[in-house]
Structure 1
Amino acid sequence: MRPTPVWFLLLEDSLLLDWAGPAEALRIANQLRIAGGLPPAYELRFTGPSQDAATSVGVHVHGLAPLPPSLPPEALLVLVGMPGPRLALRKPGVRAAVDWLRTLQAAPPRLVTICAGALLAGHAGLLHGRRATTHHQHLDELRAIAPGCQVVDNRVFVLDGPVASSAGITTGIDLALHLVAQQCGAPLAARVAQTMVVALRRGPQDPELSPFLSHRNHMHAALHLVQDAVSSEPQRDWDVASMAHAGHTSTRHLTRLFVQHAGLPPLDYLRRIRLAVAQAALQSGRTVTQAAELAGFSSDTQLRRAWRVFEMPGTPSGAAREIA
C-alpha cells in the first residue's frame, strides 16, 4: 500500500493542537505499522502561503512547502482553525490560502476540516452540497458564508463523502482516529488511541458538548461545587438537600441558582449526568443493569424511564436499543 499523502495547510496563528494532535495520531499509526512489518500508511506534509508561520502558542514552524499547484485525488488536505471569534480574511496568508483552495474546486482532494478550518473551505466553495460541522462558536458564521452547506450542530465530527469535518481542537484527534480505523482497521486505531492515552474515542454521532460540560457556562462558585460533586460521584444517593449541602446553601436557593445559571432544575441536571455515565458504560460493553448501578439509578427500569424522558442527543444506536 502506497502511503496516503496528508497535507496540513498551516497559516499564521494556526491552532497548534488542531493539527499537531491529528498529525501525531497518524505518525503513531505509521510507527505501529512499521513495528508490525507493514509499510507506513501516511506521508505527512506541511504547506502554507509562507515558508515560516507562528502557531497559536507562539512557537514558529519553519520550512513549510509552497502551496502545490494541485493535489492527487487520494491525498488528504487538512484545514485547521485560528484563534478569534471570526475568521479574519485580511490576516496575512488567509486570503492567499482561500484563493489557492478555490483553484482545487475542479479536482478537489479529500478534505479534512478541524475547528474553523471549515470556514476556509466554506469561503472557497468546497462545502457546497455537503454536510459539515465546525466549532460551536463558528456555526452561524459557517451558515452565512456557505449557504449551500448543511451545517450540523453539536457533533464531534461529520462525514459526508470526501469531506470530513470536526468541531475542533481535541475532536481533530477523534476524527484522525476514525480515519485510521477506516484505512488501517479498528484494532490499529484502538492501539493508537491507547498509545495517546485517549480515554474515550468519540464517533460521528456523539455530541460536541459533553453532558459533563453542558449547563456550566456560568461563574457561580457554589453551583460549580455542586456540579463537580455530582459529576465525580453520580452513583451517590443524591437529592436536592444533599446537593444543597455540597454547595453550602439551602435547597430553595440551590434550585433558584440551577434555574437561573444552568437553565434547568437540579434533579434534571443529576439525571443528565447519570444518563451520560450509563451511556458510556453501555458503550464499553456493560449490561443495562450494570450501567444503571454504575450511574446511580435504582434499577434498569428507572434508567429506561429517564432515558425516554431526556433522550440524550448523539446516543449511538446500539446504546439506544440497549436502554430502550
Structure 2
Amino acid sequence: MPRRRSRPSPPRTPPLPEAKQVVFVLQDDSLVLDWAGPAEALRLASLEIAALRLAVAPFALRFVSAQPESTGSVGVRLQALEPLPAALADGSWVVLVGRTSAAEARPQTAQRELVAWLSRLAPGRAGLRLVTVCSGALLAARAGLLDGRRATTHHQHLDDLARLAPRCTVMQDRVFVQDGEVFTSAGVTAGIDLALHLIAAHAGELVAARVAEQMAVALRRGPGDPELSPLLAHRQHLNARLHRLQDALSLAPQEDWPLERMADLAATTPRTLSRLFAQHAGTSPQAYLRGVRLAVAKRSLEAGASVAAASEAGGFSSELQLRRAWAAVGWPGSPSSARRQSQQA
C-alpha cells in the first residue's frame, strides 16, 4: 500500500506586535481638542497599520485621571476614567493635555496627586515617552520632568513655563520640541501636528500622510522645527486622485513610473496631472517621485544599508543617479557621508 504523503504545514504567521500603550492623563477643565485630536490621529493610524499589514504595533488608548469623572472645557462629562496606574508597560507614551486658562490659575487638590504620580516617572527609562500638549507642559514642569530640557507650550504660557521650570530652556515660535523622550507642543491643534510626527516615526510617513488626509489637516512647521519628510511634504491638499497616486508612489518607488502611468492611475492626462500637481501639491509629479525615492534611500542608509542597496530600495537605476538626485535637491554631503554619520550616531 503506497505511503500517504503528509501535507506540508502552512507557513506560520508571525505574531502581531503587542499594542503600544498611550495613556492620556485628564483633569477637570481639560481642553477637549488637546486629547481628542491626537487620540483620533492615533486611532486612524492603528486602522492604517492594519490595512497596510505593517509589522508595527497599533496603539491602545487609555484615559486616566486622579478622579473617576472629569468635566472637559466645553462641558462634556467623562465617566469611568481609569485611576492613575501603579505601573506602566515598557514603551508606553504618557500624554499630558492642557486646561483652560482659568483652571490653570487655580491648581486643584487632584493636581497635587497627579504631580506626585508624574514625579515618579522617568522618561527614557524602559522606553517611556512623555508627550505634552498646550499647557500640559506646566503639569510636567510642576513634576520636575522638564528640568535640564528644552520644551515649549502655548504662547500664552511661555512665561509660566519659565517660572515653573527655571532649569528648562523654553523655546518660542515652535510647533513642537523634542528633547530625548520628552516631546512638548504648542497650543491645542499643535498636538495633532505632534501626533502625526510621532506616528510617522513609529509606523512610517505613509501612515502619517494617510491619517492627515483623512483628518483633512495641514502639517505645520515653524522655522526651528524638523523639516517634513518628502513622503509627507506636498500632501497638504484635498484632491483624492492625487492622494491615491501619492500613496502608490510611496508604496512602490522602485517601480518604473513614467508620467503616462502616473496619469493613468490618477484617471487623467499627463498634461492635466502636471497642472493638478502644480495647483494642489506645489510641485511636479516627477519632482514628487524623486523626493519619495530620496526619502526611501536616505532611510535605508540610516538603517545601515550600502549606497548600492539604498539606491535600489529607492528606485534609482544606479549609485550615480542617487548622488545626482541628492545634489539636485541641495541635501548636504552625499549618500556615503550620510551613511557614515548614521553609523557613528
Counterpart position of 2:294: none
Residue 84 of structure 2 is aligned with which of 46, 67, 71? 67
Counterpart position of 2:146: 127
Q: Distance in 1 between matches of 2:283 and 2:53?
A: 35
* 1:72 Cα deviation from its structure 2 partner: 3.2
CA contact (8 A) 1:73 1:110 kept: no
Q: Distance in 2 between matches of 1:137 and 1:183?
A: 31
Report how many residues are paired: 217
Q: TM-score, normalised by structure 2?
A: 0.58
Which structure 2 residues correspond to residues 96-245 of structure 1 after superposition, within 5 A? 96-105=113-122, 109-198=128-217, 200-203=218-221, 205=223
Q: Distance in 2 between matches of 1:88 and 1:47?
A: 22
Q: What is the RMSD computed on CA atoms of the aligned residues?
A: 2.8
Paired-residue identity, % = 48
* 1:70 Cα deviation from its structure 2 partner: 2.6
Q: Residues 114 and 66 of structure 1: is their aligned pair in 2 closer, same or farther, counting only changes over 3 Å? A: same
Q: Residues 284 and 128 of structure 1: is their aligned pair in 2 closer, same or farther, counting only changes over 3 Å? A: farther
Q: Residues 86 and 57 of structure 1: is their aligned pair in 2 closer, same or farther, counting only changes over 3 Å? A: closer
Runs of 4+ in 1 over 3 A off after TM superposition: 37-40, 105-108, 203-207, 283-287
Q: Residues 95 and 13 of structure 1: is their aligned pair in 2 closer, same or farther, counting only changes over 3 Å? A: same
* 1:33 Cα deviation from its structure 2 partner: 1.7
The answer on 1:95 being equivalent to 2:112 is yes
Instruction: Give ranges in structure 1 of 5+ residues lacking alignment.
Output: 208-280, 288-319
Q: TM-score, normalised by structure 1?
A: 0.62
What is the CA deviation profile of residues 50-77 of structure 1, one whole-angstrom value per residue up to 9, with x for unaligned ones? 1110000000111111101232341100
What is the CA deviation profile of residues 285-311 of structure 1, one whole-angstrom value per residue up to 9, with x for unaligned ones? 549xxxxxxxxxxxxxxxxxxxxxxxx
Q: Distance in 1 between matches of 2:27 and 2:148?
A: 26
Q: Distance in 2 between matches of 1:151 and 1:26?
A: 27
Q: Residues 86 and 49 of structure 1: is their aligned pair in 2 closer, same or farther, counting only changes over 3 Å? A: closer
What is the CA deviation profile of residues 228-287 of structure 1, one whole-angstrom value per residue up to 9, with x for unaligned ones? xxxxxxxxxxxxxxxxxxxxxxxxxxxxxxxxxxxxxxxxxxxxxxxxxxxxx9x95549
Q: Distance in 2 between matches of 1:176 and 1:164?
A: 10
Larger mean CA deviation between 132-141 and 81-90 belongs to: 81-90
Instruction: Give ranges in structure 2 of 5+ residues lacking alignment.
Output: 1-16, 226-277, 285-328, 332-345
